[in-house]
Chain A
Amino acid sequence: MATNDNQPDVKIVNKRHNPTVAALLSIIPGFGQVYNKRYWKGATLFILFAAFVGVMYGFIADGLQGLITLGETPRDDDSRIFLSYGILSLIFLAFFITFYVINIIDAHKDAKRIQLGWEVPGLKEGFKNAWDTGFPYYLVAPGLFLLIFVVIFPLLFMVFLAFTNYNLYNAPPRNLLEWVGFDNFVRLFTINEWRNTFINVLSWTLIWTFVATTLQIGLALFLAIIVNDKRVKGKRLIRTVFILPWAVPAFVTIIIFSALFNDNFGAINRDIIIPLFGTGIPWMSDPFWAKVALIMIQTWLGFPFVFALFTGVLQSISADWYEAADIDGANRWQKFSNITFPHVMFATAPLLIMQYAGNFNNFNIIYLFNQGGPPVRGQVAGGTDILISWVYGLTFENQQFNMAAAISIILGLIVVVFAFFQFRRTRSFKEEGNI
């Protein structure tokens, strides 16, 4: 914060030192720094940039070229390799441009400071400065490197795939890929089979996210409040048992449930439904009942974590609030809606939003329960497929990579909207670093 004092009475000491000249000279990296009489820095920059250009120029030029053509001779050229080298080239180019711009800004800034009578530091001090200002970048670098290759690079790859014709019948290395523009999206929205499937899957995804998450939050809130009642004994035991579904690995319990719900010999039909109602419910083979079962299972799986969160918050609400409310003659509902509910929601809102986001992409339960089934006539997805499990099916079962990527992009756009809500809630940005 202290750097921001722009006092009006600054005096220009070195009139003949011109920042614009420094910036212009920096078009060849390092020259601006030499003009600023920082010879070592200039030389280092020049050598680094020259080395980068020398080594990478060929790679980047070929990469971008390949990105446009995606290969020329079928069988010899693997379009996927061209695509990945192209994306790598783009990433390297982005880095190069960033550093290039920083180099120009740096020369301009130094020149301005020299103009105001700043003494150019010696070699040793210069090194120390570079270490200090660069330190956060060294800290972030390894993580950033990994992030780029594991998260950003694949995401970019997927975005590019959505504009190609990569599917089972046109797969490298046998065939070459081609850019097809927005064809995949157009197909998704104009061909009946795709459009109907997409609308069905999307609406079920939204219903699923909303109903399952809200149910698990509602149940958790209800249980947390009744267990938190002063008169209830054995709280420790009750809470421990209520946490159990969270503690047991989800893939284990989902598989157990899918056996329990099995149409023919699952315990739920055999031991509960058939004795009570005479006929079993087709949990696995009817889309509607499969959805009901999924929502029930997700409530079972998801409420304990929220329950534990809420319990923590409830215990931290000061008893004074309730005493004051008692004195004012508030009834139970008023106490709940004016004290308990706002407290709980304020403290846990970001995590609750994450619960919604988590269920939106809850691949595990959909896939493990029924592999997205049962199949539905005239539709390219199963009856309980949500967007992400549909993408999985398209990729690994039908090898429709282009359509899977196009749907992933739409999925990503929805996620961005989710993220926007999260942004507005986060206080992180008000806390600024100070070094």
Chain B
Amino acid sequence: MSTAVKKKKPMSKKRKNFLELTAIYSVVAVMFVIILYPLLWAFGLSLNPGTSLYGARMIPENWSFVHYEWLFTDPRSNYVTWYKNTLIVALSTSFFATLMVSLVAYAFSRYRFIGRKNGLYAFLLLQMFPVLMAMVALYILLNLVGLLDSLLGLIIIYVGGAIPMNAFLVKGYFDTIPRELDESARIDGAGHFRVFFQIMLPLAKPILAVVALFNFMAPFMDFILPRIVLRSPENFTLALGLFNFVNDQFANNFTRFAAGAILIAVPIALVYLFLQRYLISGLTSGATKG
């Protein structure tokens, strides 16, 4: 009796093992199809020579790069201008947001001052409000001060809107840097800014990189603020410009949209994939310790 049980057990375990692994791999396979299908479909469409969605095939019979060529060479195409605009907005947003955010976070992490606690509460609250919620006001206000339809207006809104959320993230990271480090520097006679630039900033590089990267990426992905702020096609950012390809006559320019979208999706996806570990650990450390 006991031998029979012994014989049966490893068999069933092996079988169970096999079944489980098959189940896991088939789930993974289904997910692969669900994830990759839309992306490959868009890529396939971008190679269709026609412009309409209707006749387009995922695997075109006579594929061509005409849409890619059109984006860069046709005089009616603003694609390169949009790329340039987006880069300008992304670089300035990233730089100024990181600078402001780290100054604010340094104050909140290392100093005690009147209003500190209320300030923290205010940040927590404000990071929940999307800038979008004030869009009525932003639209009217930018109109009043003449910053409607300018990249500067867009940059200012991005930088201001980035402060609450990111300051919290960076403050959380600063808190994990041992105080002994900057205290001993102070005893040695280092001033406020010296401690900030020579001790805090170098030690906080990982989180600052995350903040800079997120703020660099945001203008590439966001389309709604540009839609509110920017009016003329030569001021568009990529996201807004591409959206207008499909928005004007939906079925007509979809393949062109697909081509333009692939050209920004690929670099951004690569950056995310390479830095994902970095990005996620930055976010979790900021959130759980912040």
Contacts and interface: CB of A to CB of B under 8 A. Distances in A.
Contacts, number: 273
Contacts of B273: 240, 243-244, 247
Contacts of A252: 42, 242, 261, 264-265
B140 A412 contact: no
A412 B129 CA distance: 7
B175 interface: yes
B287 interface: yes
Contacts of B289: 427
B7 interface: no
Contact of A246 (B109, B257, B272, B281): B272
B283 interface: yes
B17 A361 contact: no
A230 B32 CA distance: 20
Interface in B1-43: 17, 20-21, 24-25, 27-28, 31-32, 34-36, 38-39, 41-42
A309 B27 CA distance: 20
A147 B164 contact: yes
Interface in B35-53: 35-36, 38-39, 41-42, 53
Contacts of A249: 220-221, 239, 261, 264-265, 268
A154 B140 CA distance: 9
A45 interface: no
B202 interface: no
B24 A260 contact: no
Contacts of A140: 103-104, 107-108, 119
B203 interface: no
Nearest to A395: B136
Nearest to B165: A354
A252 B24 CA distance: 30
B141 interface: yes
A241 interface: yes
A99 B120 CA distance: 20
B111 A245 contact: no
Contact of A260 (B41, B161, B167, B222): B41
B103 A142 contact: yes
A252 B257 CA distance: 9
B128 interface: yes
Contacts of B35: 241-242, 244-245, 300
A94 interface: no
Chain A, interface size: which category?
A: 35 or more
Contacts of B220: 249
Interface in B246-280: 246, 251, 254, 257-258, 261, 264-265, 268-273, 276-277, 280
Given A247-B272, A251-B239, A136 B111 contact: yes
Contact of B246 (A102, A255, A348, A435): A255
Interface string A151-185: 11111011001000000000000000000000000
A206 interface: no
A32 B249 CA distance: 71
Contacts of A137: 107, 113
B79 interface: no
Contacts of B265: 248-249, 252
B156 interface: yes
Contacts of B113: 133, 136-137, 433
B125 A419 contact: yes
Nearest to A238: B28
A435 B137 contact: no
A213 to B, nearest CB: 15
Contacts of A357: 128
Given A142-B103, A146-B160, A312-B281, A435 B112 contact: yes
A80 to B, nearest CB: 6
Given A256-B41, A408-B136, A432 B112 contact: yes
A308 B163 contact: no
Given A248-B268, A249-B239, A419-B124, A150 B221 contact: no
B131 interface: yes
B41 A267 contact: yes
A146 B159 contact: yes
B8 to A, nearest CB: 20
Contacts of A80: 140, 144
A391 interface: yes
A151 B261 contact: no
Contacts of B107: 135-137, 139-140
Residue in B17, B133, B228 whose Cβ sees the most chain A Cβ within 10 Å: B133
Contact of B134 (A158, A401, A422): A158
Interface string A232-270: 100000101111111111111101110110100101000
Contact of B133 (A153, A300, A408, A428): A408
A307 to B, nearest CB: 10
Given A265-B53, A363-B224, 4 more contacts: A143-B167, A150-B161, A392-B135, A419-B125
Interface of A: 80-81, 84, 102, 132-133, 135-137, 139-140, 142-144, 146-147, 149-155, 157-158, 161, 223, 226-227, 229, 231-232, 238, 240-253, 255-257, 259-260, 262, 265, 267, 300, 305, 308-309, 312-313, 347-348, 350-351, 354, 357, 361, 363-364, 367-368, 388, 391-392, 395-396, 401, 404-405, 408, 411-412, 415-416, 418-419, 422-423, 426-429, 431-435
25 contacts: A80-B144, A133-B113, A135-B107, A136-B112, A143-B100, A143-B104, A146-B159, A150-B159, A151-B126, A151-B160, A154-B131, A158-B136, A243-B273, A249-B268, A251-B221, A251-B222, A252-B265, A255-B257, A267-B41, A309-B284, A361-B130, A364-B224, A419-B125, A428-B172, A435-B111
